Structure 1
Amino acid sequence: MQDIYEKILMLAKRRGILFPSFEIYGGSAGFYDYGPIGSLLKHNIENLWREYYLIKENFLEIETPTITIYDVLKASGHVDEFTDLMLICSKCNRAFKAEEVFPDLSEKEIVEAIKEGKLKCPDCNAKIDKSEPFNLMFSTTIGAGKGRKGFLRPETAQGIFTNFHLLYRYIREKIPFGVIQIGRGYRNEIAPRQGIIRLREFSMAEAEVFFDPKEKSHPKYEEIKRNKIRIVYDDKEEIISIEDAVNRKIIANDALAYYMSLTQDFLIECGIDKQKLRFRKHNPDELAHYANECWDAEIYSERFGWIECVGIADRSAYDLKAHIEASGKDMYAIRRFKDAKEEKILKIVPNMKKIGSKFREKAQKIKQELEKIEPNKIKDKISIEVDGEKIELTREYFDVIESKEKKTIEKFVPHVIEPSYGIDRIIYGILEHNFFETMKKGEKYTILKLNPKIAPIKAGIFPLVNDKRLVDKAKEIEKDLRETHKLVVYYDDSGTIGRRYARMDEIGTPFCITVDHQTIEDDTVTVRDRDTTKQIRLKISDLPKYLKEKIAAL
């Protein structure tokens, strides 16, 4: 007997929602294509997400390359930290992702169990005798010949971080502000086995929200603080108000909480069942290398259980600090004071007479390196590197002096809250939560009850019978709705009217318009509602307004 996942994939393939990639060559795990209906659905979901972040939140949107140079991902920590523990069976040569095969064991426990010969291969039952960290990035070479090392990006975020200084200037040095990017991400998964839940190439919608760490609040917090969310933390689960969760320090700050509430609103509007949605707090041992705190929005699947579809992380100043250190560029924001603030300042003063006498042509470079060092970190002796040579300097070559300065500004590294959405997983959740089967005339009848806002086709348009007058009028209505009113509609004159309704119901089309003989007499048509199957009669001239109002309201 088929489970819901198999039914959805069969429907998706039959109706042009999803296709396995490269199928004529046997396919490849971790890759799927969006068909004509799936592409429209994905486009509508991404545009609804833009409504939340571009329109309601007034964020900026940028687009950056999917190929990222080595230096960026080395600085961000992905070269060293973006790994999964891989298990290898020496008998059958299969590789497995450790946490999927043994989900109840920590990495440390898995490594110990391998040493003790306690773990067996799930395929051939031989003892697993090897484990190693596996970097999940796809590497590439940029350019011909030796070229430059690069990777397919694991996240869109780094393209935003490396442009921070330009974006900050563009927004006239105002903070907080947010930047979004929708695009592809890549993970060379060890053994993807969950269809579109675990892809090697996937679609992401990410927002990076830059805050002053001294003011990690959100101006709209008061509007959402009474909203309730279901949370899982410290092995407990409860439904709680946003305000209560922040006051009890379950959620670190109201900015993080605000984006959890916004995420809940977005997912529910997309069609995720609220009863099958929760937010789970990461334990300290599962936090990403860049995160201070992270919550996953998880949706429940009958086949896969709870699936992470959105990560909402407090990345603190990790990324910008890393890029400042690696690039040497100014990626700071400015805090302005109304009244001048007097501060004690430590300053390094190089003794250029001594430095010039001993190091001659390197004197200026030594001065520059000295001035990069934080004065409060200097002891009696320091070591610097100039042109690949390590140079040790004692206090005779520099001094650290204290002075008082009046400041009206100070520099700081902004903190970042990041809501990161996995579009493909959200699409699967929408399909599963809105997939319904009923019996009609002794046969199974499938309905996809999509929110009209994201439905790929807004209306099907049918002539009742193959009469030239009805066909011409139906085509005229279809053309007017599509070209004049910019609605995605579908003309169909094949098969019985019942079969045509069924095809539209299977792809989530909310309305079906039928042109019959009465249409020729009085310019009216029937409009059928997908969910109630009730029909009303409308003037053709009223159709655009009716459809647009219904789509916007639901």
Structure 2
Amino acid sequence: MTALTELAKRRGFFFQSSETYGGVSGFYTYGPQGASLKERVEETWRERFAVAEGHMQIDAPTVMPEPVFEASGHLDGFDDMLVECAACGESHRADHLIEDATDIEEAESLPTDEVAALLDAHDIECPSCGAPLAGRPVDEFNLMFETNIGPGTSQTGYLRPETAQGIFVEFPRLKEYARGQLPFGVTQVGKSYRNEISPRNALVRTREFTQAELELFVDPAGNDPDVTPVADVEVTLYPAENQPDGEYVETTVGEAVTEGIVDPWVAYYLGVATEWYETIGVDFERFRYRQHQPGERAHYASDCWDAEADVSAAGEDPEWIEIAGYAYRGDYDLSKHGEHADDSFTVFKQYDEPKTVERASVDPDMAYLGPEFGGAAGAVADALQTLAERDRAAFEGESVTVEVDGEAYEMPTEKTGFEVAAETEAGRHVTPHVVEPSIGIDRTVYTVLAHAYDEDEVDEGERTVLRLTPTVAPTGVAVFPLMDKDGMGERAQDLAADLRSEGYDVTYDDSGNIGRRYRRQDEVGTPFCVTVDYESVEEDPETVTLRERDSTAQVRVETDDLGSVLEALRAGETTFDDL
């Protein structure tokens, strides 16, 4: 990580923000190279997850009012475990301290009292000052940034901790755009904010980050997806039951579904994601899909797999980081917003033919319930309706009992107005379930850089090289004059302009000797370099030297063919060996 972050700072990939004012932990600026790399990762994600899948895209605000997060549960449950050092006052994530000091990999799934006990048992010290943390309380700390919307008696708002809520709250309108047809998907790429207790590891854990999320709304009674397009995609799975023994399952998406290892919808997107990861240069020798343990999984998710990448340096112990989550979230999100908001979060599914059904209902005698139960009468009536829909047999006796806020209320059955009547229905209202691929763009960018980083030796000596794929490399081609004289500089500039007009990101460089210029481009991951030399300006037909980054091999290419050759190389239609 030290070598990579130093390269990132030196060559303009990323660096800590506001360093002229001392910097703020957890915030990073992408430099010229990094901004281009990040943009390309986002573009390829949109192309694969939105365009190719036929899903909608939206761009929702990053600030949302408090009721949104009351409904979603973020106000009550979006917490991390905090321990504060009594000696220096520094705060740390207690579960991370446990993971760093022990063999426990998922300490965040443990309760706070158990984490506090582990701090004591392992004599864990404050990373800042070395003071013991034994006996210090472990508290829940809410990660959301609070703000005010408007002046004066303003409305409380929060910076969104995930882009997903911007999709969920707009579901009533989005379903109209989808004409109420399930399944349909909505994607969004944008900033999210979490007030991390102890940001660390460069882009791996920050307070402002970019997410790319797809919320796919499906009929819970509908058909499973057709996994045929990705059935043969090979994946490395790390099921929950295998994790104690450290055993991976090397299989295909189709086999994982057939064997019941992964939910079909989740499996489909694992296949889609694997194809995407390959295009952006993830090293599959250092990649896996790890299933959440039961205690780690969110209570509303029936299945969840994290895409994890090992970003350690060669020869070091693996350092696995989560770069994405693929979850089946059920109807939790839409049901919660349906309970709190003044709109419908269901989809009306029309039957092929009208159906006659028996429906239980109540029509309570409020003249009896009011005097008998006072202020609780309305809640009792609602509870009666819920009971009638769930358990008709409860109304077969002379009296019926319901519970409201922990208190039992009994009344004569005849006062409930219970009846079962036949009704003709044209369809039914369905609360869709949600399948969610959620990708951390910054962590993915870091993974791409870590997997591309290499040090080797070439004829000129040692070099550092980023073996980025042409798909995401910030610069597609660099153009040099061998020397800036005898017309070579002017011809190289003209050639660079021609390539830019054809849509290539081109760097022009005439500073220093040619070897140093190659080294600079190798460090930023430029796949190809073009050199205009004496042969270029003296011979007919005009040719240039085309150099490949990874092998450092060089070939002569006619200038008129250069654009088509570069395009074929970029698209994978030919290789440098073919040339």
Do the two structures share a fold, i.e. TM-score over 0.5?
yes
Aligned to 1:319: 333
| 1:152 paired to 2:159 | yes
SS in 1 for 2:417: strand
| 1:550 paired to 2:560 | no
How far, CA to CA, are the matches of 1:65 and 1:546 in structure 2? Answer: 43
Q: Deviations over 1:7-42 (max 9, x none)?
A: 111111111111111111221221111001100000
Aligned to 1:246: 257
* Aligned residue runs from structure 1 range 339-354, under 5 A: 339-349=353-363, 354=367
Check whether the contact 2:464–2:522 (CA below 8 A) recurs between aligned residues. Answer: yes
Check whether the contact 1:333–1:412 (CA below 8 A) recurs between aligned residues. Answer: yes
* 2:37 alignment partner AA: L
TM superposition shift of 1:468: 5.7
| 1:413 paired to 2:437 | no
- Cα distance change on mapping 1:14 and 1:34 into 2, 3 Å: same
* Aligned residue runs from structure 1 range 55-454, under 5 A: 55-103=51-99, 104=104, 106-107=110-111, 108-113=113-118, 120-122=125-127, 123-126=129-132, 127-215=134-222, 217-219=224-226, 221-233=227-239, 234=241, 235=243, 236-251=247-262, 253-302=263-312, 305-349=319-363, 354=367, 374=386, 375-376=388-389, 380=400, 399-440=417-458, 443-454=461-472
* 1:422 alignment partner AA: G
Aligned to 1:503: 520
TM superposition shift of 1:293: 1.6
- Cα distance change on mapping 1:305 and 1:384 into 2, 3 Å: closer
* 1:74 alignment partner AA: E
How far, CA to CA, are the matches of 1:507 and 1:355 in structure 2? Answer: 79
Paired residue for 2:554, among 508, 529, 535?
Answer: 535
RMSD: 2.9
* 2:231 alignment partner AA: K
SS in 1 for 2:15: strand
SS in 1 for 2:295: helix
5+ residue gaps in structure 2? 395-399, 574-579
TM superposition shift of 1:118: 5.9
- Cα distance change on mapping 1:313 and 1:357 into 2, 3 Å: closer
- Cα distance change on mapping 1:534 and 1:121 into 2, 3 Å: closer
TM superposition shift of 1:237: 2.1
- Cα distance change on mapping 1:216 and 1:194 into 2, 3 Å: farther
* 1:497 alignment partner AA: I
* 1:157 alignment partner AA: A
* 1:486 alignment partner AA: G
SS in 2 for 1:286: coil
How far, CA to CA, are the matches of 2:293 and 2:323 in structure 1? Answer: 17
- Cα distance change on mapping 1:117 and 1:57 into 2, 3 Å: closer
Deviates more, 1:485-494 or 1:96-105: 96-105
SS in 1 for 2:70: helix
* 1:470 alignment partner AA: M
Q: Deviations over 1:484-511 (max 9, x none)?
A: 2121111111111111111111111111
Check whether the contact 1:206–1:419 (CA below 8 A) recurs between aligned residues. Answer: yes
* Percent of matched pairs sharing the same residue: 36
Aligned to 2:577: none
TM superposition shift of 1:72: 0.6
How far, CA to CA, are the matches of 1:439 and 1:520 in structure 2? Answer: 32
How far, CA to CA, are the matches of 1:366 and 1:39 in structure 2? Answer: 58
Aligned to 1:388: none
Q: Deviations over 1:101-159 (max 9, x none)?
A: 01225334223456889654444232342111001111111111221111111100011
Check whether the contact 1:41–1:455 (CA below 8 A) recurs between aligned residues. Answer: yes
TM superposition shift of 1:337: 2.1
How far, CA to CA, are the matches of 2:96 and 2:483 in structure 1? Answer: 54
TM-score, normalization by structure 1: 0.90
| 1:518 paired to 2:535 | yes
Check whether the contact 2:544–2:556 (CA below 8 A) recurs between aligned residues. Answer: yes
Aligned residues: 536
TM superposition shift of 1:249: 2.7
* 1:109 alignment partner AA: E
5+ residue gaps in structure 1? 386-390
